[in-house]
Structure 1
Amino acid sequence: MAGNVDSAAPDGPRCPLTEWEAVPVAGGAHEAGRSVLSRAVAVLGAFDQAHRELTASQIARRADLPLSTTHRLLVELADHDVVARRGDRWGVGGRIWSLGLLAPVQTGLRDVAAPFLHDVHATTRATVHLVVRQDTDALYLERVSGHTALPVVSRAGSLLPLHATGAGKVLLAHAPDGVQERVLGGHLQRWTPHTVVHPGRLRDQLRRVREQGHATTHEELVLGMSSVAVPVSRAPADGTPDVVAALGIVDPGVGRHRRRFLEVLQVAARGLGRRLGPP
């Protein structure tokens, strides 16, 4: 039986959709000066990688809008799942995440990678992920569910930490130095007792990932689950490998089947890299 491909609205610990609720709509009106559309865009522009959750007052300041206008726009946007609210804080809603997955680069990568993900699943019967780096997070573009029921933390669209997942460690190991330093110098959240949060130890792990060509984790994000992942590279004109994504498997049996899982992933990653061709 083929695995279930999950391209649903994003979900997971780093994604606000599972725990944020929409606010009932309130009427809005066009006001003098900037159009309603330009004000709504300004509200959305208040969010970025460093400001994922903001109060209405913070959004108003960052968008250079009156607080009353900001609040009216927020509740209208929430009715359409463009933003979402938890307590007194706001964040990006599910519709924005879903639209983001339609970006040409990501859509093209997902389409090309789909048969390779299904091949890995058919051979291993495990849950398979296609992951890319989005600044200092791991963005899960696709998931094919395996035969073992897993906690739902990695649906398509989920943002998960680079430091606590196999695919994330692969992407972090091949990220620019500046990105690595921001992650290592920032808050490394301890998701389980096994999460590596010491910067020096994580730096050593990243070095081994580059040397060995793969990453493994054991219960770093979810207890009872392990992962193994490899980079997807394509060779540009200068011959330097360009890591564009990671292919990973999450399964309780990674420890027992690591060698077989790794071989299957490496074959798929090489095939996908060839199919993608040079940038």
Structure 2
Amino acid sequence: MEADEADRYRAPALDKGLDILELLASVEEGLTQAEIAKRLDRSPNEFYRMLDRLVRRGYVTKLEGDRFTLTLKLFGLSQLHAPARRLASFAMPLMRDLAQRTRQANHLVVFDRGSAVVIAQHEAPNYWGISIRVGSHMSLLETGSGHVLLAFRTDEEREMMIAEHARDPKTRRPGAELYERLTEIRKRGYEMMPSAQTAGVHNLSAPILGPDGRVIAALTCPYIGLVNASDAPDIEQTIVMLQQAARDLSLLAGSDVKISG
């Protein structure tokens, strides 16, 4: 009786798409259309249209040698679901304390479908500060948050993230200098760079790591020099405080990985 009920509500096309996603999630090197069909015990022709739709919707990408592999779109979607809301909830007390001690605003950023997206933000406690609106989509390649999200991922994941970012025809592929910078960021444990959008602002950003040691978010402070507050922390002191807040939040997220600095 239960089997009959299950068959009544079958959606063969949906099942086929989910079978492909689950199979590709289980392999690292990707699979050809023929290999997918063989593993799922189906005809290769059955998967042509489904693979085409998954590629066009951004869930799957085609590599050299006609091999298909997952993009990070599902990962990005999951970041904006309940875990991201819980992360933002955990982060707010630490972000509030960081803002009070540094006298600077700060925000929390995750990767989503080719962009760095702000999921939480805390204002500076005084009159002056740079605030980034929650929900803002920012460049992966031109922001401190984006650099940190790329630096603390595997080479393969990084290329997928950049490929999703580069779907915009106005976006240029990064050169060797970006990859060199990402290596430096990973070694020192944070990013510090002049803002590409606002003069006089330095983006300070540190990674929030998950239990597997991979970055799940970036904690970022758009630092501005406060000439009317001589006792305010300088940029080097702010970096130390930012890194400590990022380590504390990583511990709350379940990570015990040591970050440089």
Alpha-carbon separation, structure 1, partners of 2:117 and 2:137: 5
2:153 alignment partner, SS class: coil
Deviation at 1:121, TM superposition (A): 0.2
Alignment correspondent of 2:143:
165
Deviation at 1:251, TM superposition (A): 2.2
Alpha-carbon separation, structure 1, partners of 2:169 and 2:129: 25
Alignment correspondent of 1:261:
238
Deviation at 1:178, TM superposition (A): 3.5
Deviation at 1:176, TM superposition (A): 3.6
Alignment correspondent of 2:222:
250
Contact 2:166-2:173 within 8 A present in 1 as well: no
Alignment correspondent of 1:132:
110
Alpha-carbon separation, structure 2, partners of 1:149 and 1:208: 28
Alignment correspondent of 1:114:
92
1:226 alignment partner, SS class: strand
- Summarize the Cα distance change of 1:228–1:190 in structure 2 as closer, same or farther, 3 Å threshold: farther
User: Which string of whole-angstrom CA distances, capped at 9 and with x for unpartnered residues, describes residues 131-153 of structure 1?
Assistant: 11114211111111224243x6x
Alpha-carbon separation, structure 2, partners of 1:230 and 1:189: 29
- In structure 2, runs of 5+ residues without a counterpart are 1-53, 60-77, 227-232, 257-261
2:220 alignment partner, SS class: strand
User: Which string of whole-angstrom CA distances, capped at 9 and with x for unpartnered residues, describes residues 92-138 of structure 1?
Assistant: xxxxxxxx997211111111111110111010111101111114211
Deviation at 1:222, TM superposition (A): 2.4
Alignment of 1:155-194 (within 5 A): 155-182=133-160, 183=162, 186=166
Instruction: State the AA in 2 paired with 1:112.
Output: F
User: Which string of whole-angstrom CA distances, capped at 9 and with x for unpartnered residues, describes residues 36-91 of structure 1?
Assistant: xxxxxxxxx9x9669xxxxxxxxxxxxxxxxxxxxxxxxxxxxxxxxxxxxxxxxx
Alignment of 1:75-86 (within 5 A): none
Aligned residues: 176
- Summarize the Cα distance change of 1:158–1:143 in structure 2 as closer, same or farther, 3 Å threshold: same
Deviation at 1:216, TM superposition (A): 1.1
Alpha-carbon separation, structure 1, partners of 2:118 and 2:58: 16
Deviation at 1:164, TM superposition (A): 1.2
Contact 2:193-2:203 within 8 A present in 1 as well: yes
Alpha-carbon separation, structure 2, partners of 1:101 and 1:208: 26
Instruction: State the AA in 1 paired with 2:210.
Output: R
Report the RMSD for the aligned CA atoms in angstroms: 3.6
Alignment correspondent of 1:223:
199
- Summarize the Cα distance change of 1:149–1:105 in structure 2 as closer, same or farther, 3 Å threshold: same
Give 1 or 2 for the bigger CA radius of gyration: 2
Alpha-carbon separation, structure 2, partners of 1:171 and 1:143: 17
Q: In percent, how many aligned pairs have the same letter?
A: 25
Q: 1:277 aligns with which of 236, 254, 257?
A: 254
Name the TM-score, length of structure 1 as normaliser. 0.54
Q: Runs in 1 of length 4+ with deviation above 3 angstroms?
A: 47-50, 184-191
Alignment correspondent of 2:33:
none
Alpha-carbon separation, structure 2, partners of 1:278 and 1:269: 11
Alignment correspondent of 2:5:
none
- Summarize the Cα distance change of 1:114–1:207 in structure 2 as closer, same or farther, 3 Å threshold: same
- In structure 1, runs of 5+ residues without a counterpart are 1-44, 51-99
Moved more, 134-143 or 170-179: 170-179
Deviation at 1:173, TM superposition (A): 0.9
Instruction: State the AA in 2 paired with 1:209.
Output: I
2:141 alignment partner, SS class: helix
User: Which string of whole-angstrom CA distances, capped at 9 and with x for unpartnered residues, describes residues 144-180 of structure 1?
Assistant: 1224243x6x311111111111111100112342343
Alpha-carbon separation, structure 1, partners of 2:57 and 2:105: 30
Deviation at 1:221, TM superposition (A): 2.7
Alpha-carbon separation, structure 2, partners of 1:262 and 1:202: 21
